[in-house]
Amino acid sequence: MSAYESLPPHGPNGSIEVIAGPMFSGKTEELLRRVRRAVIAKQSVQVFKPERDDRYAKLEVVSHDDTRMQAVPVVDSAALEASVTNEDVIGIDEVQFFDAGIIDVCNRLADRGIRVVAAGLDLDYRGRPFGPMPLLMAHAEYVSKLHAVCCETGGRAHFSFRTSEGNGTIQLGGTDEYKALCRDVYNKVYVREHTRRENAD
């Protein structure tokens, strides 16, 4: 029996919501919108982010359009769980950067009756499922798939293409290092860029 099969059923009030999509699709903005509505409803809220993501601010979650909210930076899923007290709603930004333990943590929090709202990239720059996202989406009661605008065609973008050098899966950046592309353009550009980098090595 796997760790996931041994988990108890979800509590009556807890749930997991995942907001997924490419870069520049408004994931963080949507996360903050849902959390702010919970605040308006007078619910107790806490937002978390991976400690490594300090692109815009250390103690805030910041969207690309500069929407901000105070957040607690944590080093891993265990630290996140240890920081949760009696909140009604937990927000987690950039959840793809967390270790695999985040899946069990989110399930345990939901089983306690907490509404867990997590936002993250579903695919990395190679177009492959990113970290814990596939399993987290499978465990979630609600999954929202957002799309960006393709910077080449103006159509619906589903892929994040890295324009800078580097082969590591995790490489923080913004519009200076990434752009959102639709499937057709991504396939053409990725093959061309991959071939160029292979020839340069």
Please report, for the domain that includes residue 38, its CATH number: 3.40.50.300
Asked, for residue 179, whether it belongs to a domain, the answer is no
Asked, for residue 200, whether it belongs to a domain, the answer is no
Asked, for residue 7, whether it belongs to a domain, the answer is no
Cα dihedral sign, 121-119-8-108: positive
Return phi, psi of residue 43, to 5°.
-95, 150
88/91 Cα distance (integer angstroms): 10
Residue 138 belongs to what domain range?
A: 15-146
Q: What is the pTM (predicted TM-score) of this model?
A: 0.82
Looking at the structure of the chain, the number of domains it has is 1
For residue 159, give the H/E element and its range: strand 159-162
* Catalytic site includes residue 141: no
User: Which residue in 30, 81, 87, 94 is the catalytic one?
Assistant: 94
3-state secondary structure of 28: helix
Query: pLDDT 10s per residue in the chain (201 long)?
Result: 444 444 555 556 899 999 999 999 999 999 999 999 999 999 999 999 999 876 667 778 877 677 788 999 999 999 999 999 999 999 999 999 999 999 999 999 999 999 999 999 999 988 899 999 999 999 999 999 999 999 899 999 999 987 755 554 445 544 567 799 999 999 988 766 655 555 555
By CB neighbour count within 10 A (0-12 exposed, 13-18 middle, 19+ buried), where does 22 fall? buried
